[in-house]
Amino acid sequence: MSEIPLIQVRGLHKSFGKLEVLRGVSFEVKRGEVMAIIGPSGSGKSTLLRCLNFLEEYQAGEVLFDNTLVGYRDSAAGRRKLDSERNIRRIRARLGMVFQSFNLFPHKTVLENVIEGPVVVKGQPRAEAEAEARTLIARVGLTDKLDTYPSKLSGGQQQRAAIARALAMQPAAMLFDEPTSSLDPELVGEVLEVMQSLAADGMTMVVVTHEMGFARRVADRVMMMDEGEIVELTPPEQIFTKPESPRTAEFLRRVLH
């Protein structure tokens, strides 16, 4: 069983109206693997990530999470139908997501943000959820901010709280969409550190990022995307030293100045 990759994507196509954003994307993410996704703006990185937990519907191809088709099921007539909300939610609950703009719940404190998922979605008793939340919040270094509202936190603190909120669901994998892109440069490090320690603990992670240093140090493989396609998917040593594709070389030259 454990050889079956946790996430399998095959021939994924996604359009917004006439605009084709993903044009046949296929890859796999093994358990415990960290995959970084890089590529120019508008290449479809966020859209790809959002298809993995079905925040976006896709038109063709398949996304399998833990060997289960995400978002759809086959109807009796052999045609694909939208899956039940219950099944979609069950998969989302097992995939943590961290956003570029944090998206903490502003009307809830850090502690309330972190227990929200376990209490509301899993029905965990509040006291138990709080105990676990405190451990997670300590792990991201925010113990002194338990009862603080997000608007009183720095960007780095907000993002660490958002990571704790996602972890509270005990996800099988974590999806990060440019988690440090809206942070002041001096706050990037504290968030990357938390992510690195997660990776070290064996968390399966898919990370869209512009932090090439992080991708190089932490990722097992790096995916280069351009215009809705995978240009290259190789270990970091290779992509950063001798990229196969001229498009990758050109992109890296630009971001690494």
Ligand X SMILES: Nc1ncnc2c1ncn2[C@@H]1O[C@H](COP(=O)(O)OP(=O)(O)OP(=O)(O)O)[C@@H](O)[C@H]1O
Q: Report the interface residues with other proteins, using CB under 8 A.
A: 53, 55, 85, 89-90, 92-97, 99, 101-107, 116-117, 120-121, 149-152, 162, 165-166, 169
Distance CA(218)–CA(203), nearest Å, equals 12
Q: Is 209 in the site for Mg ion (CB under 5 A)?
A: no
Binder of residue 43, out of Mg ion, other proteins, ligand X, none (CB less than 5 to 8 A by kind): ligand X
- 57/80 Cα distance (integer angstroms): 12
Helix residue ranges per DSSP H, the chain: 45-52, 85-93, 110-116, 126-139, 155-167, 185-200, 212-218, 236-241, 246-255
Residues 39-98 that bind Mg ion (CB under 5 A): 46
Given other proteins, Mg ion, ligand X, none, residue 95, with its beta carbon under 5 to 8 Å by kind, binds: other proteins
| Residue whose CB is less far from other proteins, 54 or 251 | 54
Rama region for 177: left / alpha / beta (φ>0; ψ in -120 to 50; rest): beta
248 binds ligand X (CB under 6 A): no
43 touching ligand X, by CB under 6 A: yes
Residue 181 CB partners (closer than 8 Å, separation 6+): 100, 210
Number of Cβ within a 10 Å radius of residue 145:
21
Pick from 49, 55, 57: nearest CA to 7: 49
CB of 89 to other proteins, least distance (A): 5
Tell which positions 11-30 bind ligand X, by CB under 6 A: 16, 19, 21
Minimum distance from residue 148 beta carbon to other proteins (Å):
10
Q: Is 52 in the site for ligand X (CB under 6 A)?
A: no
> Which residues are near Mg ion by CB under 5 A?
46
Q: Can you give the binding site for ligand X, defined by CB under 6 A?
A: 16, 19, 21, 39, 41-47
